[in-house]
C-alpha cells in the first residue's frame, strides 16, 4: 500500500496493475469451497451442493439422498421466505449458524426417531456493517442507521454472535461489553493472537525468574 496499490492475479500471482490509491474497496464475491465440486454430490451452476429446505442433499432427480446432509456456504438451500436471490439462501453466517442448528436437530430426529424433520426458514433481521472505528451502516429490523448508532449495532450484534466468552460462566455479559469497548482497535485481536507468548503470562514468567 503506502499510497501505491498493486493488483495481483490470484491465478498465477503475476502483477496485473499498479496505481496510486489510498482507499481499497474489496468487491470479491463469495464462492462455495471447491470441495463441493470435488465431491460426488450434485452441484448447481455456482458449485454449491444441491440441498432441500430440510438440508438433505438432493440427487439429479430432486430426491433426498439417504444419510446425506448439507448446510452453510457450500450448500444451495431454498430460501422459503422468498427473499434470497434465485430463490436460495445467500452465503452468510446468519444462515450458516441457523442451518447448523436445524441440521443438528434433524440428524437427532432421524437417528433417534424423535420429532419431525424440520424445514429451514429464516427471515433476515437486516444487515449491519462497520466502517472502521465508530462508524457504520445498517438496517437492523428495517430501521435505517448510519454513523455511531450503526457502529454500536454492528459491534453489539456481532459480539453477541461470538460464542467464545459467552460460553464461560458469567461471560455472556462480558462478551457483549467487550464487543462495544471503543478502545479496541480492529487489529488488536489478531496481533495479540499472533504473539507466541501472551504478554501478561510472559511478564509473570519474567518476574518469577
Ligand X SMILES: Cc1cc2nc3c(=O)[nH]c(=O)nc-3n(C[C@H](O)[C@H](O)[C@H](O)COP(=O)(O)OP(=O)(O)OC[C@H]3O[C@@H](n4cnc5c(N)ncnc54)[C@H](O)[C@@H]3O)c2cc1C
Q: Which residues bind ligand X (CB under 6 A)?
A: 33, 35, 72-74, 91-94, 96
Nearer to ligand X, 161 or 204 (CB): 161
Please, what is the minimum distance in Å from the beta carbon of residue 32 to ligand X?
9
Nearer to ligand X, 118 or 124 (CB): 124
Nearer to ligand X, 24 or 208 (CB): 24
Please, what is the minimum distance in Å from the beta carbon of residue 189 to ligand X?
15
Residues 96-114 as b/e (b if ≥16 CB within 10 A, e otherwise) read eeebeebbebbeeeeeeee
Please, what is the minimum distance in Å from the beta carbon of residue 107 to ligand X?
16
Nearer to ligand X, 54 or 70 (CB): 70
Please, what is the minimum distance in Å from the beta carbon of residue 28 to ligand X?
8
Q: What is the 3-state secondary structure (H, E, C) of 45-114?
A: CCCCEEECCCCEEECCCCCEEEEEECCHHHEECECCCCCCHHHECCCCHHHHHHHHHHHHHHHHHHHHCC
Residues in the chain: 209
Please, what is the minimum distance in Å from the beta carbon of residue 82 to ligand X?
19
Rounded to 10°, the helix 171-180/148-161 angle is: 150
Nearer to ligand X, 58 or 74 (CB): 74
Shortest Cβ contact with ligand X: which residue? 72
Whole-number Cα distances in Å, 157 to 140, 160, 161, 175, 193: 10, 5, 6, 11, 22
Amino acid at each position: 500500500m503506502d499510497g501505491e496499490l498493486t493488483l495481483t492475479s490470484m491465478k498465477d500471482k503475476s502483477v496485473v496493475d499498479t496505481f496510486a490509491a489510498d482507499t481499497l474497496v474489496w468487491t470479491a464475491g463469495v464462492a462455495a469451497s471447491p470441495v463441493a465440486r470435488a465431491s460426488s454430490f450434485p452441484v448447481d451452476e455456482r458449485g454449491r451442493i444441491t440441498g432441500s429446505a430440510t438440508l438433505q442433499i438432493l440427487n439429479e432427480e430432486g430426491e433426498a439422498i439417504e444419510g446425506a446432509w448439507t448446510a452453510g456456504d457450500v450448500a444451495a438451500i431454498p430460501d422459503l421466505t422468498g427473499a434470497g436471490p434465485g430463490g436460495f439462501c445467500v452465503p452468510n453466517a446468519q444462515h450458516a449458524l441457523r442451518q447448523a442448528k436445524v441440521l443438528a436437530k434433524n440428524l437427532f430426529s432421524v437417528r433417534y426417531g424423535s420429532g419431525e424433520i424440520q424445514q429451514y426458514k429464516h427471515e433476515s433481521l437486516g444487515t449491519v456493517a462497520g466502517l472502521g472505528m465508530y462508524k457504520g451502516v445498517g438496517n437492523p429490523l428495517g430501521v435505517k442507521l448510519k454513523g455511531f448508532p450503526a457502529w454500536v449495532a454492528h459491534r453489539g450484534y456481532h459480539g453477541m454472535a461470538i460464542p467464545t466468552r459467552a460460553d464461560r460462566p458469567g461471560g455472556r455479559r462480558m462478551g457483549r461489553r467487550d464487543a462495544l469497548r471503543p478502545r479496541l482497535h480492529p487489529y488488536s485481536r489478531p496481533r495479540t493472537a499472533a504473539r507466541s507468548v501472551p504478554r501478561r503470562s510472559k511478564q509473570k514468567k519474567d518476574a518469577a525468574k
